[in-house]
Chain A
Amino acid sequence: MRVVDLLSLKGRANLMGILGSLLLYYVALSDRPWWILRGGSTGERLFEIAVSPFAFSAELLGKPIIVPIIPYLNLAARLSVLLAASTTLIGSIFAGKKWSGPLLSLRGLTVPLVFLLGIIAGT
């Protein structure tokens, strides 16, 4: 009971939710790739693909490959994770309020999980 009290600041806020939402903000605002595939030999790069749900870059023989829809899909993924992080943060700060319940969910994990499963299935 003491741990629960501590983590919820005696029912006023949800500390784990706040930390989780801050982590989601960090993940969603980062442009670093989650998965990189490089090809080539003798130390030179023939191709490189660097992807995350929020960024994509592909290069072949030093020239970029552009798929026009991908930046928009990245933006959609980023916005949905930012929204999930924001609702989780608000719901966690106002954990004592009645309306905070629907704001807390695991929606923010959907994009990373789908992405990771896609990468595993693709490789």
Chain B
Amino acid sequence: MAKVGAIVLALSVAVTLAPIVYALNQYGWDIRPLVTPVYSPPKIDYTMRFKGVEIEGGHIHIIITITNLGELRTWFMGVNATAFGLNGEVLGRVVLTHSLVIDPGSLGVLRLRLELDHKAIGALATHLMRSEAMQVYVKGSITVNVLGSEATAPLTLSFPLSRKDLAGGTLTVGILGGPEG
């Protein structure tokens, strides 16, 4: 009876310890790599490309193609940015009109609405009367949601705004309205 009990006990110790001893042997008796978690985070990456400008609903809309180069489905939730002119004058606020979900490796179109300041409309008109086009700089942040977690990334963009872009459209204040902008 005692012999059976001793055999059972020895077997219990052996089956419990054997896998751990085997693991230690596999890792050269170094416990650190055996207990250190291994994790490679997924890549979150995207590129933006300016596509054009449209006038819609009295606002300038900046059209951007965005490619999700990362490994996760990304929800582009919002933009909080400011548009500046060449001399650093504030032209207005830039917001995202509609949120957009883009799968990894896919391409989507973001529409950013430039809400011009009343003061900026005059400056823009003056500038575009003197020259054919002006460079607009957008600086701010874009909010993305990945697997339910929100993150904010910097957004920097510049694009040319020409008289031709504004032709045919009517801006909210109306100074730049008409075919010649």
**Interface residues, chain A, CB within 8 Å of chain B?**
39-46, 60-69, 72-73, 75-76, 79-80, 82-84, 87, 98-99, 101-103, 105, 107
List, in ascending order, chain B residues with CB within 8 A of A103's CB: 4, 8
Q: How large is the interface on B (under 10, 10 to 19, 20 to 34, 35 or more residues)?
A: 20 to 34
16 A-B pairs whose Cβ atoms sit less than 8 Å apart in the complex = A40-B148, A42-B148, A46-B149, A60-B41, A62-B42, A67-B35, A68-B33, A68-B38, A73-B19, A76-B15, A76-B16, A76-B17, A79-B16, A80-B12, A83-B15, A105-B8
* Chain B residues whose C-beta falls within 8 Å of the C-beta of A62 in the assembled complex: 42, 71-72, 147
B86 interface contact, C-beta 8 A: no
B173 on the A face (CB < 8 A): no
Residues of B within 8 A of A76 (CB): 15-20
Out of A41, A42, A68, A101, which one reaches B34, CB within 8 Å?
Answer: A68
Residue B87 lies at the interface, judged by CB distance under 8 Å to chain A = no
B2 / chain A contacts, CB cutoff of 8 Å: 102
Which 4 residue pairs of A and B lie closest in terms of their CB atoms, listed nearest first? A40-B148, A102-B5, A72-B23, A79-B15
Q: Are A63 and B42 in contact (CB under 8 A)?
A: yes
Nearest CB on A from B127, distance (A):
43
| Interface members, chain B 10-58 (any A CB < 8 Å) | 11-12, 15-20, 22-23, 27, 33-42
Across the interface, name the chain B residue whose C-beta is closest to A41: B148
CB distance from B117 to the nearest CB of A (A): 34
Q: Is the CB of A73 within 8 A of B37?
A: no
CB-CB under 8 A from A101, the residues of chain B are 1, 4
Q: How far is the CA of A99 from the CA of B6 in the complex (A)?
A: 12
Q: A72-B19, A83-B11 are in contact. Are A61 and B146 (CB under 8 A)?
A: yes
A42 to B77, CA, bound (A): 13
| Chain B residues near A69 (CB-CB < 8 A) | 20, 23, 34-35
A-B contacts besides A61-B147, A63-B42, A73-B19, 9 pairs, CB < 8 Å: A44-B148, A45-B148, A46-B149, A62-B71, A62-B72, A67-B35, A67-B38, A72-B23, A76-B19
Residues of B within 8 A of A45 (CB): 147-148
Q: B39, A60: Cβ atoms under 8 Å? A: yes
Q: Which interface residue of B20, B33, B42, B147 has the most chain A CB atoms within 10 A? A: B147
Answer yes or no: B145 CB below 8 A from chain A CBs.
Answer: yes
Complex contact B12–A63 (CB within 8 A)? no
Once bound together, how far apart are the Cα atoms of A27 and B175, in whole Å?
Answer: 77
Kindly list chain B residues whose C-beta atoms are within 8 Å of the C-beta of A43: 148
Taking a contact as CB atoms closer than 8 A, the residue among A39, A42, A66, A82 that contacts B145 in the complex is A42
Q: For residue A69, which residue of chain B has the nearest CB?
A: B34
Given A69-B34, A99-B4, A102-B4: A46 in contact with B19 (beta carbons within 8 A) = no
